[in-house]
Structure 1
């Protein structure tokens, strides 16, 4: 990493691009003045960060404005300089780049996830106008990841998870392979340090032996090809640590089953040469069946093109050969940045617009959802590296993310095809609508012309792509307004009953209108309609709704409870159980199942007829409701936990998480590692591609429960973990 502007100038001087050094120098001087006296957490002067971000962009071949923006990207956010100052000194383009990278730091949000989502949406909106915004942001994130080791552990994990879920997929879609792979490797190092170290160790074992083998293969291929192909480059490459990690830990393969850990790249001038050399390679070595991929005739969504084939040498050792042209290689390595680095790489404004159309599509798909956080979910699914190539009966290729269904395929063709869909055929056979498509499938969509026919609400839980989900919501929003309102109101009532929210009609209207306005709706009807067509995920906003209800509408009940807890204390006797009850020595104590109190909770006792004293949490809904009955007031008694409680208590928690493969296994492993005795576990899939999991287990007190909740919240995909309310 560089530490001075002189080092940056030397690197710039070694590039083939003509830079405006006067402007870059002025940007550095302003940044140095602005950050004077500021230090990074590592103790380095803050200016070292923008210098290194600029260096990354120089290596990518970005232009003068991008380098200036890199040097100035934190000035507006962290110093007294304004965007107007930047615009006046360096022009509108540099100011626009700086503004696009600057976070929304001064706007209040209800959660860290919402803050993250709004920052990403702002960045994508700026990116739709000027793609250099995201390239500067990727360079910024890359240097932050390289220096993340000095941050606290939780900050390292949060930043790494965001990098893995948001920035690495964007780098992949932009085709900037070098940044994408380094971001993934650095994130993995903090998210699973043990797994990272194991892969590193596996690569170190016999490394010299493998590299010698690879060099022998390179020389052998070069000797065979150099006479016929003068302009040719051949070199070996090692698969990224995260790429190996995915196959070993996520796909369950052994290290020996990964055939592309080491690969030989052959780079030539023309497409014809690629296919000719493919034939020569298959003549020199024995090709493995079903291990050939033609990404030249069928490019990936990020326009990656290459021929991949896995072959065996005479000793039976498998390895991969990748064959591509120089233009394809520039695109594979530098992606969208090749537009600036290599003029012969990505030519023309139209070609650039084509490569960026997915940004506008992603923003368009997110419009129908009122939840900004869905944009993060969309990036994780639609921009994921895995994709499948599916064919229409006419031979057109449709690219979809791995796991997409025939419904996703229908909507990828056209919204009208999806809306009129009644069935599907895969490779000539009728299949169910939740059938997942795979590369090479020929899919035919069966449609109807019956007026009024449309999608089912159940499809929202089946589809994988944001495009399909958005088009289904749009249909319901336009065609079923009244039905949406009724469906949303019914769902709202069910959730309120489940959470014990009950108010008189006038107060309920006031309460609902406040919720609707907070979600940016003008009326309760609009709010209910959005729930009905799926624009609002009720399960996501319920924690805040319950908090508002408790704060604003339980006040009188709480006062009753406080008066009970403040009653004149009477003589306490020795506890025969884990609870001390006033003046009732030796009484039978049982713990209420409605709230499952734990040591550490505020508690209150109720004298039952024939069953001793029932112990409740002080904020138990049944306690709150019972306070209204004055005839029972004498039966409520003060209680508290004894100093030592040797019992174990049953408690139930609710987990709300993004639905994914191995989610339940990860949760089970985490609970097993904490040595908890589990009594029951129930899981169900929700409509919005989420899962609801309820677990009942034994714990000693509220402190242990909080530790369990905190541990489970760290699991990938878990949105919330709460103590269950009966």
Structure 2
């Protein structure tokens, strides 16, 4: 597939679309039956009539765009249903035609493909980003039914990028950014290298036109001298193959502009460092020859240690297979060599499209690429099911499209592929979601390792689990893979629901105590009647809403007990008899401690029911509780449980003499009393005085008092104040 220059590629607005249709049908006739070509011709007539009077922004008739998309897919040698769907891909979205009409005329398969590519135009979205995310979610669902949907969408995006220059600058940038973040990585994930490279270079030209021009001009100036070096090295490589009695084709290749730009940016290289690398591809007849050629190359030039990669034994996630090595050539130039078979080369260029492109030469490589693509789409479906909304889903997909991989082993010797930077937690969830949820530690190469540890290629990882273990919200800070992050969020939502229901039960029982009743003793029919009056699906859902602060426990207790009072009418004396809610500090996400006053065990506290957050605990002296004074129905009577465990954050302000070593003395004193410092800020004041604001963890007021007493005896400490709002 020829790649036009992004900055000069524009089609003539006066192009005759009828002649383009004739050219397309003649081209398709090389590999399709006459009846299939006739179906394509019929689709053209139908599409041209449906889009009659519609024009593209360039002024050309709209039907020229679907014809161009169909031609791109024709070059991939896709089947006639895909070509027909490509010609009709905008009919549902941009004309009065509906899916049923297409199904009746061209069959259910074509109608499903067209519907899968069509955007959701009938729905209202809060923002353009949300609309794009929801449309992408719809496309993924369609992909799961038929992988050809994404091939049509990639061809559609490819032609839109070729004609993007008629768009206003702000639209060009938005479309180019989306292309570089979503569609080019998808093409790479599916192994369609030729489409990926063109999308990247055109996206680069549209997003950063000045940088593109500067880089292109630098390459043009050096092209002549580079061509001589490439030619000379290629001759040496070919001669050494002949000398070793091996048959192979040597092809010199150049890095494309986006790849050069990305490497310059990510590794802080200058242009000379990047452009000093020369690439060659050696294509041979079988796998055995690949490894023999690798040995010949290492005898010709010295290999660079750590730069030999075997993607034949361990293929990339998109099915790509090849041997990679970096050599130090003549005049110390770096030579990157890729060695692969002809079948591997087809998959490297066409990826999943090779499943159709070389169907008549069906082989393991193309079948593997197709199977891996389906496995990836299945993974996207899992992400989609567990994602909270479309925006979260598309962010997860972006993470999942990171190209760099590592390969790690399970204890049984199986290989798992993970993105670079993946941690032990990512590995656990890659094995199984249940393993991830229950993991507490890991053995990496037989050494006990924390869950946040980053993994490297070749390591063996064994996950240690425990019954009843739960995922920790802190894992989201270092989990890398979309599967792990989505599974953690999903599990935390489930846990939050269970914790909320448990807290809701305690709050309702607390209110029922004032009415001399208990939830467990209420008649079943009375509870069912109350659920109907309150509009709740079941008792568990009702208690969960109470625990999350969306319903007031006193009102729910009234309904359950059969008393038809509203909160304002509830007798104060009866409220006073209600049992206090005891706080342990281990209730999870449905009982939170206010960050303004940082209450700790032993403090006088008050609780407030807050929608979505459950019960929020404040210090009784906190200034922020004033806003609740006129909302008595939200007050929750709370007290600390006698035996609380864990650390609670507290903030102190320490006025000190500003001299060398004072911060170290303060920190050492706090640490010596088994208190962890979480945050420190220093504010210099007048003269030689500074205020150190410290957030630290304590067990209770007694523990805090010990820390403060020890700090006060330091010579440099002038005053200590605990901040409570």
Shorter-chain TM-score: what band?
Answer: 0.5 to 0.7
Match in the other structure for 1:44: 60
Match in the other structure for 1:439: 457
Q: Is the 8 A contact 2:312 2:322 kept in 1?
A: yes
The two structures have a TM-score, normalised by structure 2, of 0.65
Match in the other structure for 1:152: 168
User: Is 1:117 equivalent to 2:133 in the alignment?
Assistant: yes
User: Is 1:458 equivalent to 2:451 in the alignment?
Assistant: no
Separation (CA, whole Å) in 2 of partners of 1:250 and 1:445: 33
1:428 positional shift: 4.5
Distance 1:420 1:525, change over 3 A: closer
Match in the other structure for 2:208: 192
Q: Is the 8 A contact 1:259 1:310 kept in 2?
A: no
The two structures have a TM-score, normalised by structure 1, of 0.65
Matches within 5 A, 1:647-662: none
1:16 positional shift: 8.3
Matches within 5 A, 1:469-488: 469-478=485-494, 481-483=497-499
User: Any idea what the Cα deviations from partners look like across 1:104-127, whole Å, max 9, x if unmatched?
Assistant: 011111222221111011111111
Distance 1:70 1:526, change over 3 A: farther
Match in the other structure for 2:304: 288
User: Any idea what the Cα deviations from partners look like across 1:347-401, whole Å, max 9, x if unmatched?
Assistant: 5988734431121222212322321112211221112212222233443321112
Match in the other structure for 2:75: 59
Distance 1:435 1:18, change over 3 A: farther
Distance 1:230 1:69, change over 3 A: farther
Q: Is the 8 A contact 2:194 2:349 kept in 1?
A: yes
Separation (CA, whole Å) in 1 of partners of 2:27 and 2:430: 45
1:335 positional shift: 0.7
User: Is 1:300 equivalent to 2:308 in the alignment?
Assistant: no
> Where does structure 2 lack aligned partners over 5 or more consecutive residues?
1-10, 505-534, 551-586, 590-610, 612-623, 629-725
1:523 positional shift: 7.2
Separation (CA, whole Å) in 2 of partners of 1:49 and 1:125: 25
Distance 1:170 1:529, change over 3 A: farther
Separation (CA, whole Å) in 2 of partners of 1:241 and 1:431: 41
User: Any idea what the Cα deviations from partners look like across 1:143-195, whole Å, max 9, x if unmatched?
Assistant: 00111111111111111122122212211111111111211221122222233
Distance 1:522 1:258, change over 3 A: farther
Separation (CA, whole Å) in 2 of partners of 1:25 and 1:231: 45
Match in the other structure for 1:363: 381
**Equivalent of 1:409, from 427, 431, 443?**
427
1:33 positional shift: 1.3
1:130 positional shift: 0.5
Matches within 5 A, 1:620-699: none
**Equivalent of 2:112, from 92, 96, 108?**
96
Q: Is the 8 A contact 1:424 1:433 kept in 2?
A: yes
Match in the other structure for 1:578: none
Q: Which SS does the other structure have where 1:455 is aligned? A: coil
> Where does structure 1 lack aligned partners over 5 or more consecutive residues?
489-515, 535-548, 550-620, 626-726
Distance 1:394 1:372, change over 3 A: same
Q: Which SS does the other structure have where 2:305 is aligned? A: strand
Match in the other structure for 1:314: 330
Separation (CA, whole Å) in 2 of partners of 1:274 and 1:381: 33
Distance 1:261 1:58, change over 3 A: farther
Separation (CA, whole Å) in 2 of partners of 1:161 and 1:485: 44
Q: Is the 8 A contact 1:101 1:123 kept in 2?
A: yes
Q: Is the 8 A contact 2:73 2:152 kept in 1?
A: yes
Separation (CA, whole Å) in 1 of partners of 2:263 and 2:167: 29
Q: Which SS does the other structure have where 1:46 is aligned? A: coil
Q: Is the 8 A contact 1:366 1:466 kept in 2?
A: no
Distance 1:399 1:226, change over 3 A: same
Distance 1:411 1:269, change over 3 A: same
Q: Is the 8 A contact 1:420 1:455 kept in 2?
A: yes
Match in the other structure for 2:157: 141
Distance 1:30 1:391, change over 3 A: same
Q: CA RMSD in A?
A: 3.8
Which piece of structure 1 moves more, 148-157 or 475-484? 475-484
**Equivalent of 1:236, from 252, 262, 272?**
252
Q: Which has the larger radius of gyration?
A: 2
Distance 1:349 1:391, change over 3 A: closer
**Equivalent of 2:124, from 108, 121, 126?**
108
What is the aligned residue count?
516
1:66 positional shift: 0.8
User: Is 1:324 equivalent to 2:348 in the alignment?
Assistant: no
